[in-house]
Amino acid sequence: MTLSSTKPRPLIAGNWKMNGLAAALDEARAVVADLEIQPAAARVAIFPPATLLSRLSEAVGGSAVLTGAQDCHGKPNGAHTGDISAGMIADAGGSLVICGHSERRTDHGESSEQVARKAEAAIAAGLEPIVCVGETLETREAGDAVAFVVAQVRESLPPSVAGKAFCVAYEPLWAIGTGRTASVDNIIEMHAAIRAELAAIFGEQGKAVPILYGGSVKPENAGEILAAAEVGGALVGGASLKAVDFLAIIRAV
Ligand code: 13P
């Protein structure tokens, strides 16, 4: 069995995290304006805070820029104060959702089993989940990074993603917001291991599922990272907040 994937269009995803008031919509408008002049080779998506999703979806509506949310609940509705459901995200114009970002796993104690329920809810609502995995520095230094991440992939993906659009994002925790990027060798090794696991679980589909890299992706390093084997896009935090930087990463594909 060959594991070399038929490459789908890469996805450049901007995760604004807990940043952005109404004025930030202008950054998204600037991205749209630039992509109208010169269409991107990549698919492009922005994940604003939930408070802006509806307005952002309207602001970029009809353009090539997709929108999504940073998290969803595993249930379709109910008594879950402060949470939002996958159906609400779709209703607000989103078409994707990030599930199991390390900041959710760390700040809110989300387990891979919970993440799998979130991804399942996303699929049920017709959204494309981006399921995040990644090891801590401690795990990497103990030499356990690959085994840890592969187990996260297995446990965080519900069977219902089979045959549906979804992505996996590899984000080593020690590279997030630190300015420290995984080396291209680290990225190639981990993406190959994730690819093998996806192929083992999902067969042909698993060979083509986009595997994004995230962790201090910037205009200066995007070209090298995006050209690495089995890198199907980037999940960008800080550098997605300014249109000029985000566009430079989009153009690096
Ligand atoms: P930074 O690009 O700010 O390191 O964030 C990465 C990330 O967590 C994207 O989801």
Question: Over the stretch 60-100, which tens digit does the pLDDT of each residue have?
Answer: 999 999 999 999 999 999 999 999 999 999 999 999 999 99
Question: Cα 129 vs. chain centroid, distance in angstroms?
Answer: 8
CATH of domain 11-250: 3.20.20.70
Helix (H/G/I), strand (E/B), else coil: 239: helix
* Other CB atoms within 10 A of residue 224 CB: 14
Q: In the prediction, which pLDDT does 7 show?
A: 75
Compute the distance from residue 103 Cα to the ligand 1 centre, in Å.
10
Cα four-point dihedral sign 94, 100, 105, 111: positive
CA dist 170 and 172 (Å) reads 6
128 is annotated as an active-site residue? no
Rounded to whole angstroms, what are the CA distances from 124 to 93, 154, 160, 168?
16, 19, 8, 18
Which is the catalytic residue, given 171, 191, 197, 230? 171
Q: In the prediction, which pLDDT does 144 show?
A: 98
Residue ID of nearest Cα to ligand 1 atom 1: 237
For the chain, the domains span 11-250
Residue ID of nearest Cα to ligand 1 atom 7: 237
Compute the distance from residue 120 Cα to the ligand 1 centre, in Å.
24
Atom of ligand 1 nearest to the CA of 238: 3
CA dist 248 and 31 (Å) reads 10
Question: Over the stretch 134-168, which tens digit does the pLDDT of each residue have?
Answer: 999 999 999 999 999 999 999 999 999 999 999 99
108 is annotated as an active-site residue? no
